[in-house]
Chains A and B, each alone.
Chain A
Amino acid sequence: MHNFDFAKPSTIADAAKALAADGAQALSGGQTLIPTMKQRLAQPTVLVSLTGIKEMQGVCMGDGGLHVGAATPHAVVAKEARAHYPALADLAGGIGDPAVRSRGTIGGSIANNDPAACYPSAVLASGATVVTNKRKIAADDYFQGLFTTALEDGEFVTSVIFPIPQKAAYVKFNQPASRFALTGVFVAKFASGVRVAVTGAGNDGVFRWAEAERALSADFSASALSGLSVDPAGMISDLHGSAAYRANLVKVLTGRAVTAAG
């Protein structure tokens, strides 16, 4: 790891100021950034920790649904979201291991937008709103491809607002080594219709499976998917699974998520 300066502001405004510095990099739970720095693949000059900002912490019900502070660790979401949005709590409680869940945060996860991360699927399937220090961004506009988001320079996530669905579930199939999602599917049923978001499988990161959404909006049962198929084109193919395998998983896991949602 190369040397760097460290700042830990206590307000969003101070964080924004600190991040304006040359070579500054926001640090949340550090579950991706710190290993990358240890391997000398990233060398920011200033790390600006967002974990000392009170208003970016915690889970509570509010306008538009469940508000989750961007710097809230997965373990806290797993516990505190349980009463309001059990599927989200399940997802958070299934990320990594206890050490990862104690440090890693929702804001860090969706800002990094790893194609195999769990959280983007919940955000997209819930039609959540990503709140930043500058604006509010709809989930459908926020995720823009592998490790790419709508965030601009100097912009960082401060919270995520999740509308609460009638029914929802997340089913993940682990990549055998990293235990990230080889494929993960989040299904959320709202009065207005069903949203299905898939992580781990798509070449462009998290995506919505529109055909399944249509079928499930008409009939919210696993059997409603039976006639559908997923096109392997556009799916990730790597050491742990071919595109065809992932395409199969998308369908299998969507069915299981629907069944789990009840």
Chain B
Amino acid sequence: MPKDTGIGASMKRREDVRFLTGRGVYTDDLALHGQTYAVFVRSTVAHGRIKSIDTSKAAAMPGVLAVFTGEDFKDVGGNPAGWLINSRDGTPMREPKRPVLAHGKVRHVGDAYAAVVAETYAQAKDAAEQLAADSVIEELPAIIDMKAAVADPSNRVHDEIPDNLCFDWGWIEDNRAAVDAAMKAAPHVVTLELVNNRLVPNAMEPRASIGEYNPGTGDYKLTTTSQNPHLTRLLVAAFVLGIPENKLTVVAPDVGGGFGSKIYHYGEEALVLAAAKKLARPVRWTAERSESFLTDAHGRDHVTKIELGCTKDGQILAIRTETLANVGAYLSNFSTATPTFLHGTLMAGPYKVPHVYVNVKTVFTNTAPVDAYRGAGRPEATFSLERVIDKMCRELNLDPFEVRRKNLLTPDQFPYTTPVGLVYDTGNYHATLDKAMQIADVAGFEKRAAESKKRGKLRGMGLSTWIEACGIAPSHLVGVLGSRVGLYDAATVRVNATGNISVMTGAHSHGQGHETVFAQIVAEKLGIPESSVEIVHGDTSKIPFGMGSYGSRSLAVCGTAMAKAVDKIIAKGKKIAAHMLEASEGDITFENGKFQVAGTDKAKTFGEIAFSAYVPHNYPLETLEPGLEETAFYDPANFTYPAGAYICEVEVDPDTGKVDVVAFHCADDFGNVMNPMVVEGQVHGGVGQGIGQALCEFTAYDENGQLLTGSYMDYPMPRAEDVPFYNVDYSCQTPCTHNPLGVKGCGEAGAIGSPPAVVNAVIDALHRGGHTHVTHIDMPVSPSRVWSAING
């Protein structure tokens, strides 16, 4: 019988009541007395020198309250990169200042170089148009193609960075010679050059920010679309504007999706705060969809050459990659970690590979900044690896399932230290592979393929066995790897006098369902109904601290902090119960919401204990404090390592090149599952985005740096008709060994594991149709690309 309450129950999401009835409250929904409107003036050229900006006409226009340019912010701090990466030669990465508003030069289309604040949105818009007309920007040659950017030292995105290189990273550099030797000695070497396509995050809610300032107290407030309000507070207060953190509250109310793009601090947040102070009035800004396309941090954008050395029977001996990773015009907060420590460290996959070396050159271009996007580095690693293994199978005429089986780590090999710096704690990769093959009915494939053929379609099957490192992250480890912050998390559990509970968590829910799932965990641990537990998040004035939600960390890290705070509540409850029941603390047990003297029927309910904590009429105050509230900080000992096997079946229409994903099967190991329905939803969403990347989405800049796919007229988002009914299994569970809930994280899995399964399936279909000359098609595997590959 499945549970209908507590841990493991598929409880419906309580947040959906407000979301589905239009009662969510998003930043743009807030109306503030005296509010004003900011509109940004954005570069229409990809690369240009700002010669002059005449603000006089715009400033004199009706309703205009203030005009800002880069000059106003030249003396405040820049928006920093969160990770310091060293090049192979030991030199630190080049780190140009990222100003609030562009100063001196504009570096991508959409780069904001001025802003207008006015009484109404229309007035601000009119004045911004005037300001654009009164700005003289000398257009410079745009640097768009990464190879050209590195090859031509004369043309520079940042004048002080001669070859447009941020860093040239080797992982692990000391192993390079050994990997080269292993590759040279390998009986067979497979080489694949591929592109991991640049994606626009396309959260349903565009970015929005409201700045407030109270001259009577000196307090600032920023309401903003953030996945991690505390990090935003740190960055905008300490690094950029120099506001003491205790004078700034950052609130992220309901947020309509982020996928990574709302982790980062953006200049618009600093502008609305600075403007609010100047005007002593609230200043608001909401991105238009065009601004989202131009300025939200994009994802992926790698050009990679991967080589795989193996035996003739498919034993992998060595892997070597060379990647150019685009960071765009400026370093976004996680941009240097994404192509390195979230990518290179995963290049061994779930396999026993003795030799792995990863080289990543990170390149500045005149394009929007690129940063972590659902999966962040791990999809890039997985795609390279799973595609090259598929290519190996074709070159050597080997069965892809058998090749995976031969190379996958076995359960007796854990904990396993990879050659790229991680220690996998636990897993059973053969179990998920077997499960996937079972639910996908691999044995029945030929029959299905024959049926497709009757309808003129080519059917193919693709496999991907993936692993990720998430639960980001152990501070001690990321500190060694260059992180400038710790990545622990915190929670406060406040038991109110009448026994209901407020949990203040550092995780931020922007679609994930924390308000439901976290409540399930607390309720189960305390033996009380879920309805007694409220999850509070997204407000720095309420929650103790938090590093936010990304990297599939919310449950593994923030959830663990919460569970530890609950344990402290239980411990305190035992003390109170011992006092009330006149027993020794060591004799008190806690089960099903009851504190009991072991071996007796003397007991107090959780509610009685809570009430007593706040009505301490007879407390021994020297030894027992009133109140029942606990905070825990939790820093994980290791990453968590979810893994799984994905099998995709496609039908290709050879006449038009159109690919239909007709079946998609997932066998995932997420460790213990708290709410199966929510987990399934996360996998559905992740696979949907992965299919989107594989079949539809791409971001095209022309040679002048104009974004050609700057609207939904040209940026193809996946739609319901592009995805099948998913078949999701999470029954293979090897609980994480180092967090008390035994959980691993499921938010990014689908987006990590699915793209290579789709592309492998398409290549399989084409080979089965006789088009054996097609060895690779870059994503998106769109109809025109497939048709061109067939007919090329």
CA distance A233 to B583 in the complex (A): 93
CB of B788 within 8 A of CB of A242, answer yes
A245–B788 touching, CB < 8 Å: yes
Cβ of B784 < 8 Å from any Cβ of A?
Answer: yes
Given contacts A173-B658, A178-B714, A239-B700, 6 further A-B contacts (CB under 8 A): A176-B782, A177-B714, A178-B713, A242-B788, A245-B657, A245-B784
Residues 618-664 of B contacting A (Cβ, < 8 Å): 655-658
B788: chain A residues at CB < 8 Å are: 242, 244-245
A to B CB contacts below 8 Å, 18 in the list? A40-B125, A40-B129, A173-B656, A177-B696, A177-B709, A177-B713, A177-B715, A177-B717, A239-B708, A240-B714, A240-B716, A241-B784, A244-B788, A245-B783, A245-B784, A248-B655, A252-B655, A252-B656
Within 8 A of A (CB), among B682-720: 696, 698, 700, 708-709, 712-717
**A177 surroundings in chain B (CB, below 8 A):** 696, 709, 712-717
Chain B residues with Cβ under 8 A from A178's Cβ? 712-714
Task: Say whether B787 faces chain A, with CB atoms less than 8 Å apart.
Answer: yes
- Supposing A40-B129, A176-B696 touch, asked if A240 and B782 sit within 8 A by C-beta, the answer is yes
- Chain B residues with CB below 8 A from A176, complex form: 696, 716, 782-783
Q: Which of chain A's residues have a CB closer than 8 A to the CB of B657?
A: 245
A245 to B789, CA, bound (A): 11
Any B CB within 8 A of the CB of A249 = yes
What residues on B are CB-neighbors of A239 within 8 Å? 698, 700, 708-709, 714
A39-83 near B? 1/0 per residue, CB < 8 Å: 110000000000000000000000000000000000000000000
* Contacting residues of chain B (750-786) with chain A, CB-CB under 8 angstroms: 782-784
CB distance from B258 to the nearest CB of A (A): 22
Q: Does the CB pair B714–A242 fall under 8 Å?
A: no
- Which residue of the partner chain A has the closest CB to B708? A239
The chain B residue sitting closest to A253, CB to CB, is B656
- When distances are taken between beta carbons in the complex, the residues of chain B under 8 Å from A241 are 783-784
A248: chain B residues within 8 A (beta carbon): 655-656, 787, 791
Number of B interface residues, CB 8 Å?
24
Give the docked Cα–Cα distance between A167 and B708 (Å).
Answer: 40
A115 to chain B, nearest CB (A): 13
Q: Which residues of B contact A240 (CB under 8 A)?
A: 714, 716, 782, 784
Q: Which residues of A contact B709 (CB under 8 A)?
A: 177, 239
A-B pairs, 8 with minimum CB distance:
A176-B716, A177-B716, A241-B784, A178-B713, A245-B784, A252-B655, A177-B714, A177-B715
Docked CA distance A240–B709 (Å): 11
A173-B786 Cα distance, complex, nearest whole Å = 15
A residues near B655, Cβ cutoff 8 Å = 248, 252
With an 8 Å Cβ cutoff, the count of chain A residues facing the other chain is: 16
Contact status B787-A245, CB under 8 Å? yes
Which residues on A are within 8 Å of B, measured CB to CB?
39-40, 173, 176-178, 182, 239-242, 244-245, 248-249, 252
In the assembled complex, the Cα of A239 lies from the Cα of B706 at a distance in Å of 13
A176 to B715 alpha-carbon distance, docked (Å): 8
B126 — nearest CB in chain A belongs to which residue? A2
- A180's nearest neighbour on chain B, judged by CB, is B713
Docked CA distance A252–B656 (Å): 8
Residue of B nearest to A255 (CB): B655
Give A182 to B782 CA distance when docked, in angstroms.
Answer: 12
> Which residue of the partner chain B has the closest CB to A240?
B784
**B290 nearest in chain A by CB position:** A39
A-chain residues with CB within 8 Å of residue B712 when the two chains form the complex = 177-178
Instruction: Please report the C-alpha to C-alpha distance between residue A240 and residue B715 in the assembled complex, in whole angstroms.
Output: 10
Give chain B nearest CB distance to A237 CB in angstroms. 10
The smallest beta-carbon distance between B694 and chain A, in angstroms, is 13
B354 to chain A, nearest CB (A): 42
Q: Return A56 CB to nearest CB of chain B, in Å.
A: 28
Distance (whole angstroms) from the CB of B703 to the closest CB of chain A: 14
**Residues on A with beta carbons closer than 8 Å to the beta carbon of B125:** 40
Min CB gap A206→B, angstroms: 19
Closest to A241 in B: B784
Given contacts A176-B716, A177-B717, contact A249 B656 (CB under 8 A): yes
- Bound together, the chains give a CA A249 to CA B290 distance in angstroms of 31
Q: Which residues of B contact A40 (CB under 8 A)?
A: 125, 129
Query: In angstroms, how far is the closest chain B Cβ from the Cβ of A144?
Result: 24
B632 to chain A, nearest CB (A): 47
The answer for the CA separation of A178 and B160 in the assembled complex, in Å, is 41
* Bound form: Cα–Cα A40–B714 in Å: 19
- Contact code string B215-228 (vs A, CB < 8 Å = 1, else 0): 00000000000000
Taking the nearest CB of chain A, how far is it from the CB of B218, in angstroms?
39
- Chain A residue numbers with a CB within 8 Å of B656 are 173, 248-249, 252
**CB closest residue in chain B, given A177:** B716
Bits for B714-742, please: 1 = Cβ < 8 Å to A, else 0: 11110000000000000000000000000
Q: In the assembled complex, how far is the CB of residue A151 from the closest CB belonging to chain B, in whole angstroms?
A: 24
A176, A177, A252, most chain B CB atoms within 10 A = A176
CA of A248 to CA of B654 in the docked complex: distance in angstroms? 11
Q: Chain A residues with Cβ under 8 A from B696's Cβ?
A: 176-177
**Bound Cα distance from A39 to B293, whole angstroms:** 14
Q: Which residues of A contact B700 (CB under 8 A)?
A: 239
Most buried by B among A40, A182, A241: A241
Complex contact A242–B784 (CB within 8 A): yes
Q: Kindly report which residue of chain B lies nearest to residue A183, judged by CB atoms.
A: B656
Complex Cα gap A90–B698 (Å) = 31
B2 to chain A, nearest CB (A): 37
- Which residues on the B side are within 8 Å of A244 (C-beta)? 788
Q: Which residues of A contact B784 (CB under 8 A)?
A: 240-242, 245
- Report the Cα distance A249→B783, complex, angstroms: 11
Give Cα distance in the complex from A244 to B709, angstroms.
Answer: 22
Closest to B782 in A: A176
- Bound-complex Cα distance A39 to B291 (A): 12
Distance in Å: Cβ of A104 to nearest Cβ of chain B:
15
Shortest distance in angstroms between B313's beta carbon and chain A's nearest beta carbon? 40
Query: Which residue of chain A lies nearest to B653 when distances are taken between CB atoms in the complex?
Result: A252
Q: Report A211 CB to chain B, min CB distance, Å.
A: 19
| Closest CB in chain A relative to B650 CB, distance in Å | 16
Least distance between B788 CB and chain A CB atoms (Å): 7
Hey, which chain A residues are within 8 Å of B713, CB to CB? 177-178
Measured between C-beta atoms, what is the minimum distance from A49 to chain B in Å? 22
| Minimum C-beta distance from B777 to chain A (A) | 14
Nearest-neighbor residue (CB-CB) of B709 within chain A: A239
Give the interface centre of B125, B656, B715, B782 by most chain A CB atoms within 10 Å: B656
A241 to B791, CA, bound (A): 14
In the docked arrangement, what's the CA distance between A103 and B696, Å?
28
CB distance from A86 to the nearest CB of B (A): 22
A61 CB, min distance to chain B CBs, angstroms: 34
In angstroms, Cα B784 to Cα A245, docked, is: 6
Q: Which residues in B have their C-beta under 8 angstroms from that of A182?
A: 783
Interface hits, B398-421 → A, CB 8 Å:
none
Residues on A with C-beta less than 8 A from B716 are 176-177, 240
**List of A residues within 8 angstroms of B791 by Cβ:** 248
- How far apart are B456's CB and chain A's nearest CB, in angstroms? 11
Q: In angstroms, how far is the closest chain A Cβ from the Cβ of B718?
A: 9
Chain B neighbourhood of A173, CB < 8 A: 656, 658, 783
Shortest beta-carbon distance from B672 to chain A in Å: 39
State in angstroms the CA–CA spacing of A126 and B67 once bound together.
57
CB-CB contacts below 8 Å: B320-348 with A: none
Q: Which of B656, B784, B787 has the most chain A CB atoms closer than 10 A to its own CB?
A: B784
A244 to B792, CA, bound (A): 11
Residues of B within 8 A of A242 (CB): 784, 788
A40 to B715, CA, bound (A): 21
CA distance A249 to B657 in the complex (A): 10
Contacts of B714 in A (CB 8 A): 177-178, 239-240
Q: How far is the CB of B710 from chain A (nearest CB, A)?
A: 11
Residues from chain A with a CB closer than 8 A to the CB of B129 are 40
- With A and B bound together, what is the CA distance between A8 and B75 in angstroms? 55
Please give the distance in Å from B129's CB to the nearest CB on chain A: 7
Across-interface contacts of B698 in A (CB, < 8 A): 239
- How distant is B291 from chain A, measured CB to nearest CB, in Å? 12
**C-alpha spacing A39/B290, complex, angstroms:** 9
